[in-house]
């Protein structure tokens, strides 16, 4: 199965990312130990020059990870026709036990990368690079995460066997299934809707509040993450039902299929973008009292919060449009 | 936000002007880059179009085909077999099919003889596929004789030639009357080649197959979805092998890009030196250079992709067809339906732009950190 073009591309992207971060790792150690902005020594000068290279490399890697998530899901959905029993990405990811861990790891790296990019962005705007050490330490933490993604993807793709009968989304996301997915599916529509819209409204309000007043930055990240979870639960519990116009089909992946006009991307792209921006706004908060960042962080995190607020609003509006336009009646 | 856009626009302006100042050099890179995209995109577009064609054709196939096996080999369905299956719940229609292969020593090719379901061919006549008609120079009302496997000569009149539009499925097809078929192949009376079943509910297909194999242990059910999956994997695999072979060229291209980007001319060095002397920061130079890479990538990607689209869908992909579609003596001539698939474009992007950008990062940085005075003094 490894000779699928998209699989080769994904493995290539992951392998290059790991190689780049690994190449940057010795330099990161050097920075953490020897960085001294006040020194004018030859070594410091060299370090400063090298940070340009490794920051660019890191930005490149993180941007790649953001794109790779999209390609991974897209590919999983496309490959479903090759497995007996698979009807959408769920079946493909269920072919062996590595599929869902690989997806979740890729999503985790996506959000970590978003946080890292936000920190990097504010750091490069201060004249004395106050966060250089923290940034590179974080990069050292990200290296094993990206390597784990590569390893999980390798395990997953190498163990894809076409003769395995996999289970489709109908069995994973059904009211009778034991476990988290089943519980989400079994949520009755009215409480699910209340939870969905409340958490989105809170996330929107916190983000908008922060964008205006520049206060409560940590809350933006916290409410964004909560809204993300609630949004996914809401999609499983009721949005998908309205999209499929079917009272028992809860799958959050089938909405990505061309049969449903790729409507899922309209939901997921704003949701992921908003959550990433919310996390970014939170990630820069610990540094807002650093002397040289006092004037840099507030506008940046306010802008990130504004994007997050807009993203959640767009997501809620699109979900509402899908629900209103649907011919299914769940709530009288 | 506005200031950011203005800055990027100015950078793009500057980059374009600087690219145009060194036309020959950049056009060379652009040509190689576009060629790479063209080759990869041709392979991918062609494979995808074939996959779709196969899927369209198989949509008309029966949901389940039942073959009888003797010692693991395909054997004829004996009389009474159809009745033994009886009524299976969920099966709309069940009928025995008659078809076989005939080797024609004249054109050294195999024909597929088939009795259509309604047996609507008059006795003594044939309806032939377009590729076959072309090879043997047949048209309506021409006579043709075939020597059967028993050595006897049979003469037929061609009643019709199948339309060109169906050629992918019917290139080597010969439609024949049931009686003629049985006489020509000395087919035992009451026997059939296999059994086709049509099933209305796709969710029931597997259950019906399980029931059939329990009821008739000597038979093997073949599902349509299995065939579709096999074809999809086959074309994917061919495409993947092709790309794996071409990955050597991606690597070569990455090395070329690295070389190109690191071999700065004295002119370029001076330009960077002057820019830094008048106040550009290292970060700005890196941005400018990244824009340069991005613009070249985008142009090459568009040129290569459009070229590949024309190559595959206008000219029939003469460069890749033999590898990707396989071959046969009576190979159908067909036009592919143009399709572009989002996943493919994304994959292609990862195959071309990603290695290029990865390869030029280090040289870009090396160029950007040069000291202005060092450059100008040399």
- The residues that bridge with B97 in the sheet, in sequence order, are B194
**How near does any CA of chain A get to the CA of B161, in Å?**
35
Total beta-carbon pairs less than 8 A apart between chain A and chain B:
90
Contact B52, B325 (CB under 8 A): no
Looking at B223, B254, B278, the residue that finishes a domain is: B223
Spatial distance between the Cα atoms of B336 and A56, rounded to a whole number of angstroms: 43
- Domain around A70: 1-167
Looking at A147, A167, A187, the residue that finishes a domain is: A167
Q: Are residues B195 and B106 in the same domain?
A: yes
- φ, ψ of residue B111 to 5 degrees: the values are -105, 155
Q: Are residues A304 and A214 in the same domain?
A: yes
Contact B222, B205 (CB under 8 A): no
Lowest mean per-residue pLDDT among A289-298, B131-140, B260-269: B260-269
Residues with Cβ within 8 Å of B277's Cβ and at least 6 positions away in sequence, in order, are B372, B373, B376
Number of Cβ within a 10 Å radius of residue B55: 14
Contact B101, B227 (CB under 8 A): no
SS3 B95: strand
Spatial distance between the Cα atoms of B98 and B95, rounded to a whole number of angstroms: 10
Yes or no, beta carbons of A60 and B283 under 8 Å apart: no
For B240, the closest of A5, A71, A303 (CB atoms) is A5
For B282, the closest of A13, A52, A75 (CB atoms) is A52
Looking at the complex, does the CB of residue A84 fall below 8 Å from at least one CB of chain B?
Answer: yes
Looking at the complex, does the CB of residue B360 fall below 8 Å from at least one CB of chain A?
Answer: no
Contact A55, B361 (CB under 8 A): no
Q: Are residues A151 and A216 in the same domain?
A: no
Q: Are residues A134 and A200 in the same domain?
A: no
For B343, the closest of A2, A3, A6 (CB atoms) is A6
Q: Are residues B72 and B219 in the same domain?
A: yes
Q: Are residues A234 and A332 in the same domain?
A: yes
Yes or no, beta carbons of A74 and B342 under 8 Å apart: yes
Q: Are residues A174 and A117 in the same domain?
A: no
- Domain around B160: 62-223
Residues of A in contact with B241 (CB under 8 A): 3
Number of domain units in chain B: 2
Dihedral of CA A163/A169/A172/A175: which sign?
Answer: negative
Q: Are residues B247 and B363 in the same domain?
A: yes
Alpha carbon A52 to its chain's center: 26
Residues of B in contact with A5 (CB under 8 A): 44, 236, 239-240, 243, 344, 347, 351
Residues of A in contact with B368 (CB under 8 A): 52
For A24, which residue in chain B has the nearest alpha carbon? B362
Q: Give the residue-averaged pLDDT of B204-213.
A: 84
Q: Are residues A26 and A86 in the same domain?
A: yes
Residues with Cβ within 8 Å of A141's Cβ and at least 6 positions away in sequence, in order, are none
Dihedral of CA A134/A136/A138/A140: which sign?
Answer: negative
Q: Report A:186-215 residues touching B (Cβ under 8 A).
A: none
SS3 B196: strand
Looking at the complex, does the CB of residue A269 fall below 8 Å from at least one CB of chain B?
Answer: no
Yes or no, beta carbons of A12 and B243 under 8 Å apart: no
Q: What angle (nearest 5°) sits at the alpha carbon of residue A287, between those of residues A146 and A44?
A: 75
Among the listed residues A68, A91, A70, the one whose alpha carbon sits nearest the alpha carbon of residue A79: A91
Contact B366, B164 (CB under 8 A): no
Looking at A144, A167, A190, the residue that finishes a domain is: A167
Number of Cβ within a 10 Å radius of residue B339: 13
Contact A283, A198 (CB under 8 A): no
Looking at the complex, does the CB of residue B56 fall below 8 Å from at least one CB of chain A?
Answer: no
Among the listed residues B100, B94, B90, B85, the one whose alpha carbon sits nearest the alpha carbon of residue B148: B100
Number of Cβ within a 10 Å radius of residue A161: 11
Yes or no, beta carbons of A5 and B44 under 8 Å apart: yes
Q: Are residues B120 and B188 in the same domain?
A: yes
Looking at B199, B223, B247, the residue that finishes a domain is: B223
- φ, ψ of residue B177 to 5 degrees: the values are -75, 150
Number of Cβ within a 10 Å radius of residue B363: 19
Q: pLDDT under 50 in chain A at which residues?
A: none
Contact B330, B131 (CB under 8 A): yes
Dihedral of CA B327/B331/B333/B339: which sign?
Answer: negative
Give the DSSP H/E element, type plus range, for residue B221.
strand B219-223
Q: Determine the pLDDT at residue B328.
A: 67
String of DSSP letters for A151-219: HHHHHHHHT--TTSPPP-HHHHSSTT--SHHHHHHHS-HHHHHHHHHHHHHHHHHHHHHHHHH---HHH
Q: Are residues A197 and A298 in the same domain?
A: yes
Q: Determine the pLDDT at residue A277.
A: 93
Q: Are residues B238 and B334 in the same domain?
A: yes
Looking at the complex, does the CB of residue A18 fall below 8 Å from at least one CB of chain B?
Answer: no
Interface test with B, best of A3, A5, A164 (most B CBs within 10 A): A5
Q: How confident is the model at residue B131 (pLDDT cuts 50, 70, 90)?
A: confident
Q: Are residues A208 and A120 in the same domain?
A: no
Spatial distance between the Cα atoms of B281 and B292, rounded to a whole number of angstroms: 17
Q: Are residues A290 and A188 in the same domain?
A: yes
B270 or B330, higher pLDDT: B270
The mean pLDDT of chain B is: 84
Q: Determine the pLDDT at residue A85.
A: 74
Looking at B177, B203, B223, the residue that finishes a domain is: B223
Q: Determine the pLDDT at residue A143.
A: 92
**How near does any CA of chain A get to the CA of B66, in Å?**
19
Looking at A167, A191, A214, the residue that finishes a domain is: A167
Q: Are residues B191 and B277 in the same domain?
A: no
Looking at the complex, does the CB of residue A82 fall below 8 Å from at least one CB of chain B?
Answer: yes
Contact B146, B156 (CB under 8 A): yes
SS3 B146: strand
Rg (CA), chain B: 31
Q: Determine the pLDDT at residue B1.
A: 64
Q: Determine the pLDDT at residue A281.
A: 92
Interface test with A, best of B54, B288, B354 (most A CBs within 10 A): B354
Residues of A in contact with B233 (CB under 8 A): 82, 162
Residues of B in contact with A81 (CB under 8 A): 228-229, 232
Which CATH number is B154's domain given? 2.40.40.20
In eight-state DSSP terms, residue B77 is B
Q: Determine the pLDDT at residue A207.
A: 93
Spatial distance between the Cα atoms of B69 and B213, rounded to a whole number of angstroms: 12
Q: Are residues B204 and B337 in the same domain?
A: no
Q: Are residues A88 and A153 in the same domain?
A: yes
Q: Estimate the share of chain A in helix, then strand, then coil, as percent rounded to the nearest 5.
A: 75, 0, 25
Yes or no, beta carbons of A60 and B346 under 8 Å apart: no
Spatial distance between the Cα atoms of B6 and A43, rounded to a whole number of angstroms: 36
For B368, the closest of A13, A52, A82 (CB atoms) is A52
| Cα atoms in the Cβ-side hemisphere of radius 13 Å centred on B56 | 12
Q: Are residues A141 and A222 in the same domain?
A: no
Give the DSSP H/E element, type plus range, for residue A302.
helix A297-325
Q: Are residues B260 and B362 in the same domain?
A: yes
Q: Is the pLDDT of residue B324 over 80?
A: no
Contact B97, B116 (CB under 8 A): no
Number of domain units in chain A: 2
Q: Are residues B196 and B285 in the same domain?
A: no
Among the listed residues A313, A229, A221, A269, the one whose alpha carbon sits nearest the alpha carbon of residue A67: A269
For B357, which residue in chain A has the nearest alpha carbon? A60
Among the listed residues B42, B197, B183, the one whose alpha carbon sits nearest the alpha carbon of residue B113: B183
Spatial distance between the Cα atoms of B36 and B44, rounded to a whole number of angstroms: 12
SS3 A247: coil
Looking at the complex, does the CB of residue A70 fall below 8 Å from at least one CB of chain B?
Answer: yes
Between strands B194-199 and B64-70, the pairing is antiparallel
Burial of B303 (0-12, 13-18, 19+ CB in 10 A): middle
**How near does any CA of chain A get to the CA of B237, in Å?**
6
For B351, the closest of A9, A70, A75 (CB atoms) is A9
Q: Determine the pLDDT at residue A272.
A: 92
Yes or no, beta carbons of B361 and A6 under 8 Å apart: no
Q: Are residues B166 and B296 in the same domain?
A: no
Three-class DSSP labels, A202-230: HHHHHHHHHHHHCCCHHHHHHHHHHHHHH
- Considering A301-310, B107-116, B319-328, the range whose residues carry the highest mean pLDDT is A301-310
For B365, the closest of A16, A56, A70 (CB atoms) is A56
Torsion-angle region of B124 (φ positive above 0: left; ψ -120 to 50: alpha; else: beta): left
**How near does any CA of chain A get to the CA of B2, in Å?**
13
- φ, ψ of residue A203 to 5 degrees: the values are -60, -45
- φ, ψ of residue B223 to 5 degrees: the values are -90, 150
Q: Are residues B192 and B243 in the same domain?
A: no
Spatial distance between the Cα atoms of A184 and B275, rounded to a whole number of angstroms: 58
Angle at which helix B266-277 crosses helix B282-313, to 10 degrees, equals 130
Yes or no, beta carbons of A3 and B240 under 8 Å apart: yes
Q: Are residues B49 and B188 in the same domain?
A: no
Among the listed residues A168, A73, A59, A155, the one whose alpha carbon sits nearest the alpha carbon of residue A114: A59
Report ipTM (2 d.p.).
0.80
For B354, which residue in chain A has the nearest alpha carbon? A13
For A8, the closest of B229, B243, B358 (CB atoms) is B243
Q: Give the residue-averaged pLDDT of B293-309.
A: 92
Give the DSSP H/E element, type plus range, for residue B99.
strand B99-104
In eight-state DSSP terms, residue A259 is G
Residues with Cβ within 8 Å of B89's Cβ and at least 6 positions away in sequence, in order, are none
């Amino acid at each position: 199965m490894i000779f699928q073009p998209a699989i080769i591309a994904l493995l290539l992207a992951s392998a290059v990312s790991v190689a780049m971060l690994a190449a940057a790792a010795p330099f990161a150690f050097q920075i953490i130990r020897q960085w001294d902005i006040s020194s004018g020594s030859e070594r410091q000068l060299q370090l400063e020059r090298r940070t340009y290279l490794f920051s660019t490399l890191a930005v490149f890697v993180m941007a790649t990870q953001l794109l790779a998530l999209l390609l991974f899901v897209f590919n999983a959905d496309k490959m479903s026709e090759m497995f007996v029993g698979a009807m959408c990405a769920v079946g493909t990811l269920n072919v062996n036990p590595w599929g869902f861990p690989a997806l979740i790891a890729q999503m985790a790296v996506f959000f970590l990368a978003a946080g890292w990019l936000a920190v990097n962005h504010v750091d490069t705007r201060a004249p004395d690079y106050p966060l250089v050490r923290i940034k590179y330490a974080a990069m050292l933490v990200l290296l094993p995460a990206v390597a784990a993604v590569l390893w999980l993807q390798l395990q997953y793709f190498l163990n894809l066997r076409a003769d395995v009968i996999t289970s489709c989304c109908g069995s994973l996301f059904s009211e009778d299934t034991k476990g988290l997915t089943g519980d989400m599916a079994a949520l009755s529509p009215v409480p699910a809707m209340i939870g969905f819209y409340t958490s989105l409204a809170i996330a929107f309000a916190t983000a908008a509040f922060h964008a205006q007043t520049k206060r409560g930055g940590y809350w933006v990240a916290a409410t964004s993450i909560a809204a993300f979870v609630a949004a996914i639960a809401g999609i499983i519990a009721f949005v998908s039902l309205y999209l499929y116009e079917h009272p028992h089909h809860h799958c959050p992946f089938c909405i990505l299929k061309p049969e449903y006009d790729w409507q899922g991307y309209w939901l997921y792209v704003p949701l992921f973008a908003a959550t990433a921006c919310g996390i970014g706004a939170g990630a820069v908060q610990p540094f807002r009292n650093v002397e040289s960042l006092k004037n840099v962080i507030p506008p940046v995190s306010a802008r990130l919060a504004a994007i997050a607020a807009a993203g959640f609003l767009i997501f809620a509006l699109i979900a509402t449009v899908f629900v209103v336009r649907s011919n299914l009646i769940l709530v009288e | 936000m506005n200031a950011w856009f203005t800055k990027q626009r100015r950078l793009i302006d500057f980059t374009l002007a600087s690219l145009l100042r060194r036309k020959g050099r950049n056009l060379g890179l652009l040509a190689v880059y576009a060629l790479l995209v063209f080759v990869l995109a041709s392979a991918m577009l062609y494979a995808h179009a074939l996959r779709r064609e196969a899927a369209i054709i198989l949509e008309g196939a029966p949901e389940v085909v039942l073959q009888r096996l003797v010692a693991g080999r395909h054997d004829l369905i004996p009389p009474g077999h159809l009745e033994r299956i009886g009524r299976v719940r969920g099966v709309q229609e069940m009928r025995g099919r008659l078809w076989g292969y005939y080797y024609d020593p004249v054109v050294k090719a195999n024909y597929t003889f088939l009795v259509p379901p309604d047996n609507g061919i008059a006795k003594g006549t044939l309806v032939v596929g377009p590729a076959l008609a072309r090879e043997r120079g047949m048209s309506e009302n021409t006579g043709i004789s075939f020597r059967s496997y028993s050595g006897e000569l049979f003469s037929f009149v061609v009643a019709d030639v199948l339309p060109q539009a169906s050629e992918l499925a019917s290139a080597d097809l010969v439609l024949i009357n049931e009686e003629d078929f049985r006489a020509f192949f000395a087919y035992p009376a009451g026997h059939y080649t296999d059994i086709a079943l049509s099933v209305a509910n796709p969710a029931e297909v597997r259950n019906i197959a399980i029931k059939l194999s329990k009821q008739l242990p000597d038979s093997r059910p073949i599902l349509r979805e299995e065939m579709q999956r096999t074809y999809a994997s086959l074309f994917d695999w061919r495409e993947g092998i092709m790309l794996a072979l071409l990955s050597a060229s991606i690597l070569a291209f990455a090395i070329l890009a690295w070389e190109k980007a690191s071999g700065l001319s004295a002119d370029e060095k001076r330009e960077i030196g002057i820019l830094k002397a008048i106040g550009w920061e290292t970060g700005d130079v890196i941005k400018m250079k990244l824009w340069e890479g991005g613009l070249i990538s985008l142009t090459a990607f568009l040129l290569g992709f459009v070229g590949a689209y024309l190559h595959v869908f206008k000219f029939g992909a003469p460069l890749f067809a033999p590898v990707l579609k396989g071959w046969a003596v009576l190979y159908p001539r067909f036009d592919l339906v143009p399709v572009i698939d989002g996943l493919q474009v994304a994959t292609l992007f990862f195959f071309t732009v990603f290695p290029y950008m990865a390869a030029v990062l280090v040289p870009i940085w090396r160029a950007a950190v040069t000291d202005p005075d060092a450059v100008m003094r040399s």
